[in-house]
Amino acid sequence: MSGVRRFAPDAAGDYRWQAVEVLRYKDEGTAPFRDITRQVLFAPPDQASELRYFEIAPGGHSTLERHEHTHAVLILRGRGTVRLGDEIHAIAERDLVTVDPLTWHQFHAAADSALGFLCLVSKERDRPQLPTPEEAARLQR
């Protein structure tokens, strides 16, 4: 639907898109993550992609995962780091992160800053793969 939705802090100081339901990042217990919310901003039936907004609270992180589908991630708020394969990059507002197929990736908010980002993803996507304990140990060393 046509319209303008504001991106503004709530009473707790967390940024939210107005009039968009705040969802859990993933179903409980499916994968390790910490302190993330999700809002689906744009997913009309004529589009093959969805635009989502994720916000990771200070010190929180997304799941370490990989999959065939790609991501484009635009950092909208705060700062932190992203793992892309074997590399860790510092990220902050207005940075664009792109993730290629089957590239391990994980977002961390800084200890003293939330990390909020837009994520463009295909509606038809494969399920994320999680690392084996050995892969996790190698990546997180």
Residues carrying an active site annotation: 119
**∠ CA 94-117-119, rounded to 5°:** 110
Beta-carbon contacts of residue 104 (< 8 Å; ≥ 6 apart): 64, 65, 66, 83, 84, 85, 131, 135, 139
Residue-level length of the chain: 141
Strands 96-99 and 71-84: antiparallel
